[in-house]
Structure 1
Amino acid sequence: MRNTVNILGIPVDNVSMAEALNIVKGFLNEDRVHTVYTPNSEIMMAAQRDPELKEILCQADLLVPDGAGVVLASKINGCPLKERVAGFDLTNMLFSDDTSKNINYFFFGGKPGVAEEAYKNLLDRRININVVGIRNGYFTKDEEDEIIRQINNSNTDVLLVALGAPKQEKWIHENKKKLKVKLCIGVGGTLDVLSGRAKRAPVFFQKHGLEWLYRLYKEPWRFVRMMDLPRFILRVIANRIKPKRA
């Protein structure tokens, strides 16, 4: 039985990082496609404007709170989530787990060369995962069938989709019935960070829920998008204090 916290109509799994990892590992023992999404405040707010995205998030097999804003929203609702479960960290914990040597991975997304660089850097760090296929994230609709064939022919267990939100969530949802994999994870900019082309916020910012501030400092053009964070929190507060109908 899943333990979830309802945040603006979206059931976010109330799990620790260790629990999320065990759930993901359990998915690999089941013979069907499982979907894992890691929404932050921007994605949760986007889902309020996009009914299709909201439904996709609601149908996830595991939905973990990637952003500190999502954890804060749960506290405002009076049902606090255990902790932030960042998609980057969850993916890396899966890579480093003892069972990972028996898992096949496919890296799908990023600019040309990014996935290859990410894999090389993992190997340089002595994280010897089995990457059985790589495909960049630049493609047309006409190429999708060939990409799916490539994924299925690779005999992969885990498909990491790094197309950015909400494109990656919608791509997974649209194609999951065609995929012969056990697990699809929307990983956003994970491959960019692993490749070295992007950097995560310093640990201080991560621990204090300020990654958004560091990202804004590094990429000020994101200001308009980041306004969704306060909008999200204000919407949660408004929903919390809204009078209940008799």
Structure 2
Amino acid sequence: MGGIVNIMGLPVNIMTEKEYTGLMKSYVSNDNMNIMYMVSAETFQALSVNEKLLEGMKEADLILPAERDLLLSIHGYKVKGIVNSYKYLLYLLRKESIFKKVYIIGNNDKNVEQLKELILRQNEELNICGSYSVDAGASDETIINDINSNEPDLLLITIDSPMLEQWITEHRFKVFAKVCVGLGNITDKMIKENNSPPKWMLATGLDNIYFDIKEKKYFENRKKTRIMQALLAEYNNRDAK
């Protein structure tokens, strides 16, 4: 199915789960660090006020939606059967044996610990080989040296835009990792949507219903769709002048 949809000048890839899985397998087998962004409405808000970010992001190997509402903002675009949110990254961690070692860069210690817990719930055999939080104040050189000493298969960067895009653009050729995923501005959403169910639900085997209800609740919240539609309208009006 592979294709591209242009959203505010950014080429966003459209692909099936099978294509995505195959591509990730090819990424971990080559000698270069491949860059993948998973973009949200907040990404495009950052782009709307800082167009310099766009050129750096275009150098990525892959750009995918981080949330389904992003594609829903494009009228008539169907989201079934394609990679349309961060959940497909969690699926890879859970169902495939592509990534063995994961390194996390997050906004703060709390987010980093919550992300570690979330990732290990997908696959407890994954090795979280290192982590850093932005609020710890470490230098970029210190962080890069720690990443390179661990050589992770997956470098997961979950800091906010525009810091996320600027950091990757500036340091991409200094870092030794197989795949770098820039997953911006949706850390809190990921954690809320994937909180562990109450113990009584786990004990009674109702945990799948719990996650189905939570997913439906967030999916039906169209706030992000309205934000994207407003950004697209502003972008198109400006482009038409």
What band does the TM-score fall into relative to the shorter chain? Answer: 0.7 to 0.9
* Aligned residue number for residue 49 of structure 2: 49
Q: CA deviation at 1:121?
A: 5.1
The structure-2 alpha-carbon separation of the partners of 1:227 and 1:50, relative to structure 1 and needing over 3 Å to count, comes to farther
| 1:143-158 paired onto structure 2 within 5 Å | 143-158=139-154
| TM value normalised by structure 2 | 0.75
The structure-2 alpha-carbon separation of the partners of 1:133 and 1:193, relative to structure 1 and needing over 3 Å to count, comes to farther
Q: Is the 1:17–1:90 Cα contact (8 Å) retained in structure 2? A: yes
| 1:123-162 paired onto structure 2 within 5 Å | 123=120, 127-140=124-137, 143-162=139-158
The structure-2 alpha-carbon separation of the partners of 1:131 and 1:163, relative to structure 1 and needing over 3 Å to count, comes to same
Distance 1:204 1:125 in 2: 20
* Aligned residue number for residue 85 of structure 2: 86
Q: Is the 2:106–2:133 Cα contact (8 Å) retained in structure 1? A: yes
Q: CA deviation at 1:40?
A: 2.1
**AA aligned opposite 1:86:** S
The structure-2 alpha-carbon separation of the partners of 1:98 and 1:235, relative to structure 1 and needing over 3 Å to count, comes to same
Q: Is the 2:148–2:175 Cα contact (8 Å) retained in structure 1? A: yes
Q: Is the 1:122–1:128 Cα contact (8 Å) retained in structure 2? A: no
Q: Percent identity at matched positions?
A: 20
Q: Is the 1:34–1:184 Cα contact (8 Å) retained in structure 2? A: yes
Q: Aligned with 2:65: secondary structure?
A: coil
| 1:1-246 paired onto structure 2 within 5 Å | 3-75=3-75, 83=82, 85-87=84-86, 89-100=87-98, 103-120=100-117, 122-123=119-120, 127-140=124-137, 143-188=139-184, 192=188, 198-199=192-193, 202-208=214-220, 210=221, 212=223, 228-235=227-234, 238=237, 242=240
Q: Is the 1:74–1:81 Cα contact (8 Å) retained in structure 2? A: no
Distance 2:68 2:114 in 1: 29
Distance 1:136 1:95 in 2: 22
Cα deviations across residues 134-170 of structure 1 (Å, max 9, x unaligned)?
2122244x71101100000012111000112221122
The structure-2 alpha-carbon separation of the partners of 1:92 and 1:110, relative to structure 1 and needing over 3 Å to count, comes to same
The structure-2 alpha-carbon separation of the partners of 1:163 and 1:60, relative to structure 1 and needing over 3 Å to count, comes to same
Q: Is the 2:57–2:169 Cα contact (8 Å) retained in structure 1? A: no
Q: Is the 1:73–1:236 Cα contact (8 Å) retained in structure 2? A: no
Unaligned ranges ≥5, structure 1: 214-225
The structure-2 alpha-carbon separation of the partners of 1:113 and 1:204, relative to structure 1 and needing over 3 Å to count, comes to closer
Q: CA deviation at 1:16?
A: 2.8
The structure-2 alpha-carbon separation of the partners of 1:122 and 1:162, relative to structure 1 and needing over 3 Å to count, comes to closer
CA RMSD of aligned residues (A): 3.3
Cα deviations across residues 18-45 of structure 1 (Å, max 9, x unaligned)?
4333322321111111111111233224
Cα deviations across residues 43-79 of structure 1 (Å, max 9, x unaligned)?
2243133122111222221111224453135446xx7
The structure-2 alpha-carbon separation of the partners of 1:17 and 1:157, relative to structure 1 and needing over 3 Å to count, comes to same
